[in-house]
Structure 1
């Protein structure tokens, strides 16, 4: 039994020794793998630091440099998670020296870009205030970036660029106000005839027209040079002739024509830019018929066919031929229709105006 007992003890010790050796081997392998990872990461860091050094010495793109520093930050973080405290301290010192240089070069470059942009703007001519405003907004953002980079020790530079920032903000506000203009026209008597409101040289907002007696003649709402919203046309006695309303969300347009006494004689509903339908009544309220509008043209055949089978229509026409009151109603209807056509033509001409913008 002694022999087997000794054999068992020896075997147990051998197993322990093997396990211990395996643990040592595993630990050594892990250490080697960790050291290899650290070496690979540090090699990437060194190459990227060299690239940044070369970029700082020559011509570089600020945004490319920002991309390289972001990549370097990720590598620094990865290195810090694997390296020893001593290596981490050493790397942080390298990082601080490099980033100090990067920061200084970026500040100098940004200040130089601001100076060059200012000089270039002084020799440029802009067609509209909005173009100049856009350039100043970009310049202001660069000044704000520089202010964010300047250290507290650079008080003189800070005050200089803070003053420039305030001046740019004031110039931008002034240019924004200049984007909106009003053009007035007057009768020979001195009474106001019309006003056109523009934004960036295009009709925008309410454009209005008056009769010489002071009564409003037309009002049209424009957006970016196109009639968009409501349109009204009045007679010189103040009675409404045409009302046009556009639903901006659906694009649907409804035009309504009125007689002098307020009677509706026509409703035109456009479901799209050139397709829709119109309903027409006579001056006495008799329904004349409905006509479809396809591709901007009225389908007259179907409309005229409807009229043939409406005896009240022919009776009304006969009354207009025989009686003055009905004849006046017919003339009022014709006059309202002409006003409607004329107002639509005016709007079309206003939208097609090729206004030469002023040099700003």
Structure 2
């Protein structure tokens, strides 16, 4: 008999149009003979709707905007989410007997949904731990550790860990962090669940031809794609670009959106940086072309983080065989993982962007080494960071359940 998987999503695009690591994972469950039921938010629909999408049932719930909005709007939307989800599930999934609940962080407010469903169905819960909230909001100066908001969310966080039967952490640093700061958590729940991504199929392009298309002839392209928010600390990206402004052959090409996008544009203008190109959007084929002609892929994290983050955008760089360069806080194990285990790039403390400049200059001067490093990331990615590995990790954590 097929097992029924309920996935509580925060971001779940229509797979026919786009994908992310969570759609990739649910497709893996589907392909391994599970019935997949998804609950996902949408601020763009008039009413809650359920549909068949790529062999999965997807319940899209009418909600307020949860992404790319200010902290107040996001906070309110997250607080309203549990009631909206429970109402939709009760109406559309009321006759479904689920076998497993899977949910990621963020948000932790879905604890209330999980609690109600676990009580009803008597089934295990698997937590995919990505953001460690509310501590990350403390690190970014968004809330105070002495305030009522922190205390409320901290209680929810503890309840979510308690109700989860297994917790997948994206690095050993994350495992160690939870152990140190949550002594009450049963450590047998914790295990490593690295980020994952499908191996993207795309047509390889001739780099020189595409560079001409984008007016980047004879340029060394430092690429940054994805969210542009507080965690990415745009000031550090600008500082790195500023350190190269005397080198006309180096260009920073940034594609993305987020709450700090306008701030990034202003900083680039104020510093009169002609070596930074910022785009809101490129058609998918052009986005892939741009990533292929990139010489390196940039990751940036705020230096004030006390929690070990593992930026998922690195997987796209691995997929495209481009080295990773990273400005990071000193608490994450992402940098040592990239350099020592994957051997796919270099990192420096976000407190000292000039040290990363030296490593970029090494890559500029050594194109053959750049190619080797890019291949290292791609080989590691194919073996260790694919959705099937994540699927097996989750399934194997439960015996005789799913």
Under TM normalisation by the shorter chain, which class is it? under 0.3
Q: TM-score scaled to structure 2, two decimals? A: 0.20
* TM-score relative to the length of structure 1: 0.21
Structure with higher RCO (Cα < 8 A, 6+ apart) = 2
From the two aligned structures, give the one with the greater helix fraction.
1
Q: Which has the larger radius of gyration?
A: 1
